[in-house]
Chains A and B, each alone.
Chain A
Amino acid sequence: MPDYLKSALVFIFAGIVGGIFLTGMNLWAEETIEERKLQRELEMLEDYFPGAAGYEEDEVEGLNAQLVYDQENEFLGVLITTRQQGYSDYIVYQLAVDRQGEIVGLKVLEHEETEDIGGVIEEPEFREQFLGVSFQDTVSEKVDVVSGATESTRAVIDSVEEVMEVVKEEYLDQ
C-alpha cells in the first residue's frame, strides 16, 4: 500500500472513531441538557407568568418571542427578548406581555450604559412604571424619561413602544 494511502486511511479512521465517540457522548447527554434548558427557561418564565408549563419559540420582525402556555395549554402571554441601541451600546432586555395585552414585566439583561446615570434602566423604580401599561396605551405617555439619563431611558421607552405594536399585531388580535 502506498504511503499516502495509508496516511489517508489512518486519518479517516481517526476521524470516524472520534465522530462515533462524540455521537455516543451526545446521545448520552442530550436528554439531560435539553431538560435542563427547559427547566431554566421555565424558571425564568415563571417570574413573569406564574403557572408557565411550556413555551414555543417564534421570531417576528427580528424579535425573539416565546409564546408561553400553562399546563392546560392555555395561552398565557408572550415574552419578547430584543435589543435596542442605547447611549453607549445595545441594551438587551426582556418584555413580558400577558394575553390581555398588559405589560407584566421588563428586565434589562445586558447594557453598557454609564453605571450611575444610564444604569437607572436597571432600577425597579424605572422598570415598574411599565407594569400594567396596555397595548391600547401609548408607552411614552405612561412612562417618564429619567432626567439626566434621557438617552438611555428614551431608548428603552421607544423600543418598548415598537415592540408593543408588533405584539399587538402578531399575538393579540385573535
Chain B
Amino acid sequence: MNAIADRYAERGIGSYFLYTHEAHPGENIAHLTSFEQKLEHAAKLRDELGVARPIVVDSLDGACHRAYGSMPNMTWIFTRAGIPVYKSDWTDAASVENAIEYFLQGVERRQEGQRLAPFYVERLDFRVQDRQAFYKGLERNGPKAVEEFRNAFG
C-alpha cells in the first residue's frame, strides 16, 4: 500500500492509514485504555512496521471505524466530494490499485468527451493468505495474541 501511495501521489491520489483499535492485543502490545497510548501505538506502527503514509488516529471509542463497519483491515476510496466509490472488507493492494486505475481511466474518458454515469457493481476479489506471516505478526504482539487466535480459528 505504501508503494501505491508513492506511485499515484502525483496523479491526485491521497493515501492515509487510519488507526483503529488493537485487534489482537497481547503482552507486548496491550489493548487501548487512553488516547495518549493510542497515539503511541500509531507512532510504533509508523516506526516499527514501516507505514509510510500519513497516519490519522480515530477517537478512543472508534467512532469513525465503527461507522464504516469496524472490519480490522478494510480499505475505502472517496472522491473529493466525500462520496465513497470503493469499499473492501479486507485490504489487498492489487485490488486497490485496480480500482484506482479504473477511476483514473474515468477521468481520462471524460476528458476525451465521453459522458459517463455511475452504476453499482459488486465483485469478489482475492487476497494473499499467508498464515505463517500472520502468525509471526501475532507473535510480535505476545503469546496471548497467538493463543487467542488459535482458540478462535485454529
Our verdict on whether A and B bind, yes or no, reads no
Residues of B within 8 A of A (CB): none
Residues of A whose CB lies within 8 Å of any CB of B are none
